[in-house]
Amino acid sequence: MSRIGKAPIAIPAGVTVTVKGHEVTVKGPKGELSQEINPDINVEVKDGHVYVTRPTDDKEHRSLHGLYRALIHNMVVGVSEGYKKEMELVGVGYRATSTGQVLELALGFSHAIFIKLPKEVKVEAKTERNKNPLIILESADKQLLGQVCAKIRSLRKPEPYKGKGIKFVGEIIRRKSGKSANAK
């Protein structure tokens, strides 16, 4: 058995999980998420836990077993607690402002970049004196949040010489030394 797949998912208070056909729907205080499940994988809800089982030990069934268990667990955590990502803008003149669902970024280009975010993602831009600007993104959907973060980061990836760019808070960027002074 898959070590991840065989672990039951505890359902916290205030969260309901329903299985209808091949679709699992999770409702909670932070929203509602649903996921289409492969017909071979069996999902059942009993006495406050969600159990994911597979019919055989085929390679495909083993891989899908852990996958769907992880996806359902992420949905349960998302609707009960939510997910939060913080991104930092490192560079002179880099700024971020948010107005509703529109994020405006000044990243050293000749123009400002406007990004319209999905309604499921809440955005907040913070700028403190003598600190790098922060973008704080929150959502119940872990997959969507990761996709939005990747899109924002792709606009100006951190570079290895000065470390300028958009990075996650706590991320360590491998640095390179510049030109060698003694090169002959």
- Tens-digit pLDDT profile for the chain (184 aa)? 458 888 999 999 999 999 998 999 999 999 999 999 999 999 999 989 999 999 999 899 988 999 999 999 999 999 999 999 999 999 999 999 999 999 999 999 999 999 999 999 999 999 999 999 999 999 999 999 999 999 999 999 999 998 899 999 998 999 888 887 565 5
Measured in degrees and rounded to the nearest 5, phi and psi for residue 73 equal -60, -45
**Residue 8, CA atoms < 13 Å, CB-side half-sphere:** 11
Type and span of the H or E element at 83 = strand 83-90
Which residues, other chains included, contact 107 with Cβ-Cβ below 8 Å and sequence gap of 6+?
89, 91, 94, 113, 155, 156, 166
What per-residue confidence (pLDDT) applies to 4?
Answer: 85
Helix, strand and coil content of the chain, in percent to the nearest 5, comes to 20, 35, 45
Type and span of the H or E element at 69 = helix 59-80
Which residues, other chains included, contact 160 with Cβ-Cβ below 8 Å and sequence gap of 6+?
173, 174, 175, 176
pTM: 0.87
- Token pair recorded at residue 166: 């958009």
What per-residue confidence (pLDDT) applies to 1?
Answer: 46
Separation of alpha carbons 47 and 159, rounded Å: 51
| C-beta of residue 99 within 8 angstroms of C-beta of residue 146 | no
Which residues pair with residue 36 across a beta bridge?
23
